[in-house]
Amino acid sequence: MSKKVSLTGIKPTGQVHIGNYLGAIKQALQLSDQYDARYFIADYHALNIVKDKQEMSDSTYGVAATWMACGLDPSKVLLYRQSDVPETFELSTFLMGFTAKGLMNRAHAYKDKKQKNEDAGKDSDFGVNMGLYTYPVLMAADILLFNTDIVPVGKDQVQHVEITADIAGAINHCYNDELLTIPKPILNSSSEVVQGMDGRKMSKSYDNTIPLFMAPKKLRKLVMKIVTNSQEVEEVKDPETCNVFAIYKLFANEQEQEALKERYLAGGLGWGHAKQELFEMLEATFADKRERYDELMNDKSYLDKVLKEGAERAREISSATMNRLRKASGIGC
């Protein structure tokens, strides 16, 4: 029996950070042992935000290099760029005919933007482009085009997979045939929000991220800026309310966590000491990966080759899906 399909995408918007690694990359790579794993660079999704040509190009290469530096083997799994698969956009148009506007009105990203505008006294749709509004439809196309069974996501993305399932169900019902696989979300095993440098969710929009492959000196300087309270060195500190420990424990094993926790509770641990422990943990985790990432980013021709080969394999699958839908709907017959 063939393996079920898992699909993961990541937008090339700025530097990949440790929240991306923990929330998507690490789990998605682990799923490749159990599933027929497919990974894509969502550059058209990024177009809602990134308007600079060089930034888009650099970030796209950066995402590809990141996946491979973290362990993705393009000879064993499928890695492709969204924009290299035109069937994605054909399917997106097809799905529009089966997508209720009410679904788009309830999508988290649109509702959040609308609420922020209203709170600021602006028109509710100020700054909202159709790419943002129809984001869930394009995401549905990404998923459905590749017969996806499961989509590893964070809690904030579960709704998009549910919307995808609703649209696919409507199409299957309309044509009385199982034309599209109904996907299911799968949450990160920890399903925890990765905390940023200021205690809020780690997010590029909050500018509180820790980039995955930052040079050691810059990384240490950044870690030292993590927000802490004004307690003195000799005071007992609570690790469970500390931004530094919250990030540290995501990478440390139980023994390492307990050892640092004891130092917090014993007193005599300054914030600089705690941040140094975190810096060393991050270095131990990512130094080798950073070296591989730098090698890949210095060999763009190899990255181009990998993405070209991935696109060719992806189009074999996507063309079959669209041919099935065209035949069922009478389009192009």
92 touches 137 (CB < 8 A): yes
Q: What is the DSSP letter of 99?
A: -
Is 201 known to be catalytic? Answer: yes
Give the position of tokens 């079959």: 320
> In angstroms, what CA-CA distances link 211 with 27, 61, 202, 216?
18, 15, 11, 11
- The edge-to-edge listing of strands for the beta sheet with 150-153 is 78-81, 36-41, 5-10, 150-153, 184-187
Is 204 known to be catalytic? Answer: yes
> In angstroms, what CA-CA distances link 326 with 309, 322, 333?
26, 6, 8
Helix (H) or strand (E) holding 36: strand 36-41
Is 113 known to be catalytic? Answer: yes
Closest alpha carbon to 332 in 318, 322, 178, 92? 322
Give the position of tokens 């040509």: 53
The one catalytic residue among 4, 26, 184, 204:
204
Q: Is the torsion defined by CA of 229, 231, 232, 236 positive or negative? A: negative
8 touches 151 (CB < 8 A): yes
Q: Which residue type, as a one-letter code, is found at position 31?
A: L
The one catalytic residue among 113, 114, 261, 275:
113
Q: What is d(CA 173, CA 160) in angstroms, rounded to the nearest whole number? A: 20
The packing angle between helices 300-329 and 53-69, to 10°, is: 100
Closest alpha carbon to 39 in 86, 71, 13, 3? 71
6 touches 148 (CB < 8 A): yes
The one catalytic residue among 4, 26, 184, 201:
201
- Report the residue count for the chain: 333
Give the position of tokens 């129809």: 134
- The catalytic residue positions are 113, 201, 204
